[in-house]
Amino acid sequence: MAYNQPVTIPAHPASVAPRSDLPVAILKGVAAVLAAGFLALALRPAATIFDMPLTEDGYYALAVARNVARGNGVTIDGMHWTAGFQPLFTFLQAAMFWLADRFSPGDDALAIRFVLMLHLAAHAAGAATVALIARDAWDGEAEERRLRLWLAAALWLAAPLLFNHSYNGLETGSVMFFYAACWRWIQTGRDERTAGLVGLGALAGLTVLARIDATFFVAALCLRELWRRRHRGAVAAAFRAAILGATAVVVSSPWWIYNFILAGSPMPSSGTAQQVWALDPDRLIEAGWALGIVAMPWVFAGGHEGTWSWALRAILIGAGAVILAMAAAGGAGGRALRGPAGPRVRRTLGGAAAITATMAALAAYYTLSFAASWFYYRYFAPVAVLAGVAVPTVGAALASRFGLTRPLAGLAIAAAAPVLALAILAQRGGGFSGNAVFHEQVALVRANVPADARVAAGQTGTLGFFRDGVVNLDGKVNRDALAWQANMWDYLARENIVWFCDWPDYAERYLGPDPAAHGWRVVATRGDFRLYRRN
C-alpha cells in the first residue's frame, strides 16, 4: 500500500453526534427547552395570565398601550395625557392590544398573551444577537466559534435576571436587544461606509426610543467616531460624528417633540417624579449592588437575595477578573485566550468600549440624581450585554484549550434549571416575587369601593390597569400631582376624591402623619395595603 494513498474515514452514523459536536447539541437543546418554557407563559390559564412575571411598573405601560390601541389617547387613566413611559416598546404593546381586539374585542387576557409573545421575541432576538457577537468576538477555530455561539445563546436565556427583565411588561428586554444590535452593527464593520453609519445612527435612535437614557449611548458612539477617525483630521471626524448623531436625533425626535408639547420639557413625568439630586451614601451602595447583579445575571434571587448570593456573585466575578488579568499578563490561562486580533476583534472591542462608557455615565447620573435606587438594577441592565458576550467567549476558549467542553455544557444545563423553574412556577402565579399589588391592592379596592368611584394611590400601575377612575399621586404618569407632593390631602379634596388605597408609608406621605386630621380613616386592610375613606 502506498503511503500517499488517500484513506477514507467512515462517517459517524447519522443517529450519533460526533464527540466534538455533543456540547453544541446540548447547548442547542438547553436554548430550545428554555424558549418553550417562556412561550408557555403566554399559554397559561386566564387565572394566572395577569400575574408574575408582569410587575407593578409594567402595568403602567400596559395601561397606556391599551388606551392607545382603543382610541383613548396616550393616557393611563383615560383623563390625563402622559409621557410617563418609554415609547417604542409601549407602542409595540399597543399593537398587540389592537391585534387582540381584532379577534376578541375587549379581551385583555388575549392581549396579554400577545404581549408575552412580543416579550419572547425581544428576549430571543437579544439572545441571537449576543450569540453572534460572542461567536465573532475573538478569532479562533470554527469549532470554538460555534461553541461560543450556542453557549452565549443558552446562557442569555438561562439568566434569571434577564428573565425578570424580559417579561415584566416593560421595555428592558428590548433595550438590551437594541444595545446588542448596535454593537453587532459595529462589529460587522457596516458603519465604515456613510450609508452604514446612517444605519447605526438609526439603530441608536431606536435605542433612544426604547429608553430615553440611551442618549448617553448616542453621545458615546459619536465620541468613538471622533476618536477612531482622528487621523483623518478634525473636520472629517466631526462630520462623521455629526451624521451619526443627527440621524439618531431625527429618528427619536417624535418623542422629544411630544414631551415639549405636553409639558415644555424633554424629561418625562416619570423621570421628574423621581429626580432628587444628592450625593447619598445609600445610593452609592445600591448602585454597587445593582452593577454587581447586572454584571453576573446568572446569580439573581429576587426577594431572596442575601449573603449567600452575594458571596457566589463575588466569587464568580472575582474569578473572571483573575482570568482576564492572566490574559493580559500572558500566564497559562492567558495563553489559552491569546490569539491574533484582527479588524473584527478590534471593532468588537470598540463597541464594548462605547457600551462601557455609557454605563459608567448612566451609573453616575442615576446615583446622583434619582432617588428610586431600587430600580438601578433595571437602569443598568445593558451591562448584562457585556457579560453575555464576555463570559461565553472566555468560557469557550478555556474549555476548548483544556478539553472541558462537555463539563461546560453540563454547567449550562445547571444554569438553566433556576430560570426554567421560574417559568414553570409562573404557570400558577408563583416565583421569587409575585405581584402583591395584584393580589392585595386590586382585590381590596374591588371588594370595598363602588365601581363608579374614583380612587387615588401612589402606586397605581396594576390598579389603574384593572380599574377606571384611578388617580396617580406620585406624579409618574400624572404631572398635575407633582405640584402637590407636600400637601396631597389638599389636592385630593380639590379633586373630590374620597378613596385612597396604598401601603402605610404612602398613606403617611399623602394623607399626613395623622390622616384623621384631614378626615381620612381606615375602612379595610388586605396584606400590607390599607384602604382609607375621607369623611
| pLDDT confidence tier of residue 408, bands split at 50, 70 and 90 | confident
> Would you state the pLDDT for residue 296?
93
Residue of 124, 100, 120, 115 whose CA lies nearest to 58 = 115
pLDDT tier, 413 (very low <50, low <70, confident <90, very high otherwise): confident
More confident residue, 401 or 151: 151
- At 286 the pLDDT is 92
Q: What is the pLDDT of residue 469?
A: 86
Q: What is residue 533's predicted lDDT score, i.e. its pLDDT?
A: 97
Closest to 457 measured CA to CA, from 503, 422, 494, 426: 503
pLDDT on residue 8 = 44
Average the pLDDT over each of 28-32, 160-164, 266-270, 303-307 and give the range with the smallest value: 266-270
Alpha-carbon dihedral angle through residues 197, 203, 207, 212, given to the nearest 10 degrees: 50
Backbone φ, ψ for residue 76 (5° rounding) = -105, -20
pLDDT at residue 433 in the model = 58
- Cβ 444 vs Cβ 459: under 8 Å: no
Q: What is the mean pLDDT of residues 89-112?
A: 97
Question: Which of 11-20, 264-273, 384-393 has the lowest average pLDDT?
Answer: 11-20
pLDDT at res. 371 = 85
What would the grid cell of residue 87 be? 415609547
Buried b (16+ CB within 10 A) or exposed e, 275-288: eeeeeeeebeebbe
- Mean pLDDT, range 366-388, rounded to an integer: 93
Among 20-29, 115-124, 283-292, the range with the most confident prediction by mean pLDDT is 115-124
The C-alpha cell that represents 415 in the structure block: 444554569
Task: Report pLDDT for 328.
Answer: 57
- Give the model's confidence band at 304: pLDDT under 50 very low, under 70 low, under 90 confident, else very high: confident
Percent of the chain topping pLDDT 70: 91
| Side-by-side strand order, sheet with 520-526 | 470-472, 455-457, 499-502, 529-534, 520-526
CB hemisphere CA count around 12 (13 angstroms): 9
Q: Report the alpha-carbon distance of residue 164 to residue 310 in Å, rounded.
A: 18
Mean pLDDT across the stretch 506-528? 94
CA 463 to mean position of chain CA atoms: 23
Tens-digit pLDDT profile for residues 110-153: 999 999 999 999 999 999 999 999 999 987 788 989 999 999 99
Q: Count the alpha carbons within 13 Å of 491 in the hemisphere toward its beta carbon.
A: 24
pLDDT of residue 336: 47
Q: What are the residue ranges spanned by the domains of the chain?
A: 28-427, 436-534
pTM equals 0.90
Q: What is the pLDDT of residue 312?
A: 85
DSSP-derived 3-state class of residue 94: helix
- Across residues 396-423, what is the average pLDDT? 84
Mean pLDDT of 515-524: 95
> What's the pLDDT at 92?
98
Exposed/middle/buried for 98, CB within 10 Å: 0-12, 13-18, 19+? middle
Q: Specify the pLDDT at position 401.
A: 81
Contact 296, 384 (CB under 8 A): no
Alpha carbon distance 256, 357 (integer Å): 24
- What are residue 534's DSSP bridge partners? 520
Q: What is the pLDDT of residues 459-490, one digit of tens each?
A: 899 999 999 889 999 887 788 888 899 999 99
Least confident of 158-172, 182-196, 404-418, 510-524: 404-418
